Amino acid sequence: MRRPVVHPYESVGLDRAPDLRRDAGRLVALAADPASRWLGLRELAIPVVACRDGLGLALGPRPAEAGEPEVFLGLAGGIPVFAVPVNATPPGVRHLPLREVAVRLTATELGLCACARALLHWHATHRHCGRCGTLTRVEEGGHLRRCPACGLEIHPRTDPAVIVLVHDGGDRCLLGRAPHFPPGLYSTLAGFVEPGESPEAAVAREVREEVGIAVDPPLYVSAQPWPFPRSLMLGFLARARDRTLVVDRGELVDARWFTRAELADPRHRPVRLPRRDSIARYLIECWLAGAVPVAGSGSESRASR
Ligand SMILES: [Zn+2]
């Protein structure tokens, strides 16, 4: 089955090698191997170096000032890659926020960085056992933390969230503005999936809560790992049953219907759209083009319009 699209921040060409994670002796040898590559993140910022094409990922030997934990990301092109927190930036290297380097790295590099950022953030925020409070131990190459007192196993977290472009079945789509957005930016609606809830039910609930309208059963498009800090964005399109909005001002500053003509030309758009590294922008562009990739088929069908 072919995937319709690979979004930024998704791992590309990374063999996660779960068998190696569980082989502690082998991991020690790989970590000591000078051929292994290391990614030293400073406060979750990405190490980059200037190169002919602009910026390149600073994947190098084990950093001298490496902190804990050492996380085995997997094999990239057969080469073991580790990520580790650092508290200094070596000469010639710069540490930049992941979203700032997103459009300047290759898909493979960006996928490695996203994986490293998500795992190191998880370690930094899950040091203690949630049941008894004891300091936990790192196992399986940084993919598991275990409580030595009560035995609780803690796995890296990924929180499912739905993100939906609501349209009217015709020429209009609905975009909203959250209080924390940069000036002028409007985007798709989004929210976390709650316990016991299907993604489709979460779409219907979020749309009803945020703008007060009902939608038809939503169409799943594709998903994007979103390591800010640990979401999996499940992207949908949904047709509204009603155009009259009742905006929840606690969630959104504004929400409006926009026509294709208003959004199509970037020079005359009345608002800013989300950045191209996001599935929000992808959903909007799909709708603008009247094309929606069909999950799994690798082909495209016309969106309802
Ligand atoms: Zn415990």
Domains of the chain (ranges, CATH numbers): 14-125 (3.90.79), 126-157 (no CATH), 159-302 (3.90.79.10)
115 Cα–ligand 1 center, Å:
26
72 Cα–ligand 1 center, Å:
24
Token digits of residue 108: 């493979």
> What pTM, to 2 d.p., does this model score?
0.91
70 Cα–ligand 1 center, Å:
22
128 Cα–ligand 1 center, Å:
8
Whole-angstrom CA distances from 262 to 5, 164, 170, 257, 266 are 26, 19, 14, 10, 9
134 Cα–ligand 1 center, Å:
5
pLDDT at residue 3, as a whole number: 53
The sign of the dihedral angle between the CA atoms of 93, 97, 98, 99 is: negative
For residue 249, give every residue at least 6 positions away whose Cβ sits within 8 Å of its Cβ, in sequence order, or none: none
Q: Which amino acid is at 243?
A: R
> Mind listing the pLDDT tens digit of every residue in the chain (305 residues)?
445 689 999 999 999 999 999 999 999 999 999 999 999 999 999 999 998 778 899 999 999 888 999 999 999 999 999 999 999 999 999 999 999 999 889 999 999 999 999 999 999 999 999 999 999 999 999 999 999 999 999 999 999 999 999 999 999 999 999 999 999 999 999 999 999 999 999 999 999 999 999 999 999 999 999 999 999 999 999 999 999 999 999 999 999 999 999 999 889 999 999 999 999 999 999 999 987 554 434 344 443 32
Q: What angle do CA 165, 171, 172 make, to 5 degrees?
A: 45
Half-sphere exposure in the Cβ direction for 100 (13 Å, CA): 10
Residue 185 DSSP one-character state: B
16 Cα–ligand 1 center, Å:
28
Token digits of residue 93: 């290297």
29 Cα–ligand 1 center, Å:
30
Contact 36, 62 (CB under 8 A): yes
Q: Where are the alpha helices (DSSP H) in the chain?
A: 18-21, 24-32, 98-101, 107-125, 199-211, 260-264, 279-289
127 Cα–ligand 1 center, Å:
11
Distance CA 112, CA 127 (A): 23
43 Cα–ligand 1 center, Å:
27
Token digits of residue 96: 């930049």
97 Cα–ligand 1 center, Å:
34
140 Cα–ligand 1 center, Å:
18
Which residues pair with residue 38 across a beta bridge?
A: 60, 82
131 Cα–ligand 1 center, Å:
5
Dmax over CA atoms of the chain, in Å, equals 63
pLDDT at residue 295, as a whole number: 42
CA end-to-end distance (rounded Å), the chain: 27
Q: Where are the alpha helices (DSSP H) in 138-278?
A: 199-211, 260-264
Q: How far is C-alpha 31 from the chain's CA centre?
A: 27
146 Cα–ligand 1 center, Å:
8
Token digits of residue 98: 């992941």
